[in-house]
Amino acid sequence: MRQNSIELRTLWFMGAKTRLCSEFIDGAVSDLLEPGGTVLDLCTGTAAVGRFLSTRYRILANDVQNFSSVVASAHLEGDDAWFSAIEYLDPREDLGRAFESNLRLVTRLAPEALTTEDSLLDQVERELGVSDGPQTGAADRYRQFVAATPLPQVEPGGSPLFQPLTSAMPGLISQRRRDPTIEPAVLMTCYYTNVYLGLRQAMVIDSLRHAIAQIPETDPFARRKRTFYLAALLHAVSVSTSGTSHFAQPRSLEKDSELLAVVRRRRIDVEEGFYLALDAIRRELGESPRLGGNRVFGLPLDDLLAEGGPLADEKVDLVYLDPPYTADNYSRFYHLLETLVDYDYPELELRGGELTRGRYSLREHRFRSDFCKAGEVEGAFNRVAADCRRLGARLLISYSTDAGLMTKRWSRAGEEKPASRFRDMMRQYYPQVEFREKNLMHSGQGDSNRSVRELLILCEG
């Protein structure tokens, strides 16, 4: 997308390719494919690349993660009737009644805690946010407040501050595991309060998620609206987390500097962020119309690319592959967003009989790509290349010699030129293989950045 339509990062997402699109990826795509062709974005993530290309190319986007598919669908899919209707959507009309009903019920579960949180967030900001702020002990009181938060899957404790939520939580979760539609919706409130979200933030998110699910099937745009609103909610949650740029584990509150960062995030108005995200998506779609005919899938790569599979009747001209580098991409980093989409009150993982700090769902429920397995990653690349060749499509791979699992393994094994080895591997399938390289500051698991070498591998012929 050559114009300034990428104003909204779909999610706060480690390694998002938004900043690379215009200065690196766009040139490679243009060299491989004329405008009007079809691009298959195999691991779409936040759909940054698909969005960027969608004004000039037809996009087929895929990701096994449900939240990624939601984001891609909201930004890429839809017919003329839907894109015309977007301009006149009234989210408060669609969501307001169910939102207010759920919020009213869920706030009754911890009224004293809500009042305490509001007061302490303001006090901590005044105490730690300026160099000569009043020293009232608010920081320590907020730490105590967080420590009193009731835990899911754990016998209720004795703190009265979060009552009646503390006593009711086991029953609330048990009932909703059998029927997730029961009101009030409380998943974020029970699972992630004072972990990645503030108490009020969690309650607002639960209420918005409930309202989205309540859009009636009689609405002619029910499915489209749910996807559209859910994508905006995912954005609002991702930029409101009191973690860093992911949901691997919460920040420690031990240092005052970290506590202040958490408090500032927990003061963010998630409802306002939701409506701002809606407006931004709507504006982008209006200013940068899609070429049309886009489709979004949610499948493992082998299933999508299989002979006789979903692409059997498609003419794919170019496949763009930006695979995950570690298993954390499908488990720890974005598990909360996946849970928000599924909204099924999953069983949480225990270690030594205690909940993990990150509140991960049970490990067996998490998908793990072969690109994240040391013994499988080469085979995964070979299968994709062979499938793309069979489809008659050119292949563009985005990878990193520094961060990519396969190239790191090769380097550790003594390979002096991992990029050359990668080129030779791709030449088994394509006679013309070109490498382009760019240094990039990449976000790690904290707030700091590090320099990595990004590769583009252009395969054709």
Q: Where are the domains of the chain?
A: 18-78+290-322+373-460, 89-282
Q: Whole-angstrom Cα distance, residue 256 to residue 254?
A: 7
Beta bridge partners of 440: 452
Predicted pLDDT at 102: 99
Each of the 461 residues of the chain gets a pLDDT tens digit; together they read 333 344 455 555 544 566 678 778 999 999 999 999 999 999 999 899 999 999 999 999 999 999 999 999 999 999 999 999 999 999 999 999 999 999 999 999 999 999 999 999 999 999 998 877 778 899 999 999 999 999 998 877 768 999 999 999 999 999 999 999 999 999 999 999 999 999 999 999 999 999 999 999 999 999 999 999 999 999 999 999 887 666 767 888 999 999 999 999 999 999 999 999 999 999 999 999 998 899 999 999 999 999 999 999 999 999 999 998 765 555 567 889 999 999 999 999 888 888 988 888 886 566 778 888 888 999 999 999 999 999 999 999 999 877 788 888 888 888 888 888 999 999 999 999 999 988 775 554 444 555 677 899 999 99
Q: Global pTM?
A: 0.91
d(CA 30, CA 42): 18
Write the CATH number of the domain with boundaries 18-78+290-322+373-460.
Answer: 3.40.50.150
SS (H, E, C) 182-226: CCCCCHHHHHHECCCECHHHHHHHHHHHHHHHCCCCCCCCHHHHH
* CA distance readout (Å), 37 to 32, 33, 171, 394: 10, 7, 54, 11
* Among 385, 378, 435, CA closest to 404: 378
